Structure 1
Amino acid sequence: MAARLSRRHVAFEGSHPLVPATCLAGTLLVSMFAIQPVLSCVSLVGAISFSLCCLGPRLTAERLRWQLPLLALVCLANPIFVRSGVTTLLVVGPVEVHAESLAYGACMGATLVSTLLWIECASRVLSADRLLGLGGGPLPTVQLILSMAGRLVPQLLARSREVGSTLDACTAGGGPSSGGKAGRVRMTGVLLGWALEDSVERSDSMRARGWGAMGKRTSYQREALRARDALAAACLALLALGSAVLAWKACSEWRFYPSMPTLVPWLGYLPYCVLAAAPTAITLVDRARWARLG
């Protein structure tokens, strides 16, 4: 019983894959594109806290052992390449270290580290089976469309060159060349007829292999989408959308160069704080619930 309960302590294990996918996708997108001191710090703190819940303290410490030096490297290397700014902290030979360059490097490093942590935690939460269950219905059809497009588009281009070469070879008999308007119209008609003929043969071949035998393709669903999961995903999507809009507003009003404005308290940071803390809070609530059941 204890082993079964410990296995259920994986983050978002009791939720439909749509819930963690919505939450982590929104958090990750805002984290990658919002380069602003407060938002970068919120993303880093949220990523570390969720990593502690998802990966555990030991694995999180192993990741931070090389990620934090990477953050420091990006922070310290930025003033060497970017010498903009008006607040000079120190001068090392020909290099002037400005506070603005250090702040921008620190934000970029924090964004890089938080993005790496969010992606690794997402890979642990959304396994291949859960992703397949999330997109198992339309995924095979989309895959077929992309594979057919990847094969038929080059084939169509090769045929257009073949038809154009044939038209150019027949100009001695008074026919139009491929470069003229009449030649392009004739080449388009030949390609269209060729493609329609192939489409009829291809549809017959697919129908013979069972495509279209049923009105809707069925798929096995390991986890059912319950009403509470749909409600949670909708709330997280609205929270992510609001966070993105407010993050865009915060980034548009912030600048690193030539001088940084003063940071002031703003309630617009609150939605992203809630979004970044949501994975950790949901995981802790699930663990507390399973602990009571044990």
Structure 2
Amino acid sequence: MTGQPARTARAFSTCHASVPLACFAGVIVISMFAIQPVYVAISLAGALAFSLLARGLSPTLRGLRWQLPMIALICLLNPLFSASGSTLVLKLGPLSVYAESLAYGAVMGALMVAVVVWFEDAAAVLTQDRLLSLSPRRARSVPVVVSIAAQLVPQLLERSRTVRSTSDACTAAGPRPSGKDALINTSTLLLDWSLEDSLERSDAMRARGWESGRERTCYRVERFGSSDAFKLTLLVLLVCVNALLAWVACSQWHFYPTMPQLVMWWGYLPFAALAFVPMASELLARATERRLS
């Protein structure tokens, strides 16, 4: 299992990034709010099916090593916090364990695992480049600001240690200041240092064309075409229909005090279609690749 090569997701490779974004966002949002056993089971099955195809067996099993125990843990801990229900399973002293509490814990644990796996699946398809292509031109400066902040935080901490060690080494100036005075002195020196650097950094960025008054151009790897608009429209309609059907199903389901009997309902089929769209896209992409090779 450890010798298996890492797989690359081929699903939605011919679509604009907005199409898989709408698909994964829709199924994740519905999964998070549809706390109903059938919806949770369908969501978990679709997430694991796509993970096995796109990410491979080894990464999926590595995640299940801690995800499956988490389901068991939430299932067993829920009766400790919510001792409600009507079907008594066992009684341990003052603690009463009901089947409804166990069922609710199992469903919530499975829901958490399904959402985590869906995020992992989305990360396999929506790479950083594809997400960046979705952002408007004004938002292109956000990665620059984040990268600068990521550089400045460790630099500020290093300078803080330098200021403190230098201040401790200056014994000829008298006794060491108290903790409050030392903090004020260190903060003042760091502020002066940062303001001086900010002027130099702004001059350097202005010299590279930032805020020069001209609109910055960018190269877009993906183009939004008519086929992408058609697929996106179908996905949005499917998500909206599933949101309505999930609301109907969840309004008729409750865990406490007794759980109603689950029955076959046609309303589960649209959500199953949405949850297995990524797997179908992966299989279609592989079949197309084999046919062309």
TM-score above 0.5: yes
**Any idea what the Cα deviations from partners look like across 1:68-112, whole Å, max 9, x if unmatched?**
111111111111221110011222232221111011101100110
| Whole-angstrom CA distance in 2 between matches of 1:219 and 1:242 | 37
| Whole-angstrom CA distance in 2 between matches of 1:292 and 1:274 | 25
Q: 1:108 — aligned with what?
A: 108
**Normalising by the residue count of structure 1, what TM-score does the alignment of the two structures yield?**
0.71
2:10 counterpart of 1:17: no
Contact preservation (8 Å) 2:7, 2:56: no
Contact preservation (8 Å) 2:9, 2:125: no
Secondary structure of residue in 2 paired with 1:16? coil
Q: 2:292 — aligned with what?
A: 293
Aligned residue-pair number:
227
Q: 1:175 — aligned with what?
A: none
Q: CA deviation at 1:253?
A: 1.4
Q: 1:182 — aligned with what?
A: none
- Point out where structure 1 has 5 or more consecutive residues left out of the alignment: 1-5, 145-205
Q: 2:135 — aligned with what?
A: 135
Identity %: 48
Q: 1:38 — aligned with what?
A: 38
Q: CA deviation at 1:8?
A: 7.1
| CA separation of 1:142 and 1:33: change in aligned 2, threshold 3 A | same
Secondary structure of residue in 1 paired with 2:91? strand
Equivalences for residues 139-158 of structure 1 within 5 A: 139-140=139-140
Which amino acid in structure 2 is aligned with residue 103 of structure 1?
A
Equivalences for residues 1-294 of structure 1 within 5 A: 10-140=10-140, 210=211, 213=214, 218-294=217-293
Contact preservation (8 Å) 2:8, 2:55: no
Contact preservation (8 Å) 1:35, 1:251: yes
Which amino acid in structure 1 is aligned with residue 249 of structure 2?
A
Contact preservation (8 Å) 2:83, 2:98: yes
Contact preservation (8 Å) 1:39, 1:269: yes
Q: CA deviation at 1:48?
A: 0.5
Secondary structure of residue in 2 paired with 1:267? coil
Which amino acid in structure 2 is aligned with residue 220 of structure 1?
Y
Which amino acid in structure 2 is aligned with residue 125 of structure 1?
V
Contact preservation (8 Å) 1:83, 1:98: yes
Q: 2:192 — aligned with what?
A: none
**Normalising by the residue count of structure 2, what TM-score does the alignment of the two structures yield?**
0.71
Q: CA deviation at 1:134?
A: 1.2
- Point out where structure 2 has 5 or more consecutive residues left out of the alignment: 1-5, 145-205
Contact preservation (8 Å) 1:9, 1:286: no
> What RMSD in Å do the two structures reach over aligned CA positions?
2.5
Secondary structure of residue in 2 paired with 1:90? strand
Q: CA deviation at 1:138?
A: 4.7
Q: CA deviation at 1:10?
A: 2.8
Q: CA deviation at 1:139?
A: 2.3
Contact preservation (8 Å) 1:8, 1:14: no
Which region of structure 1 is more displaced relative to structure 2, 22-31 or 8-17? 8-17
Q: 1:156 — aligned with what?
A: none
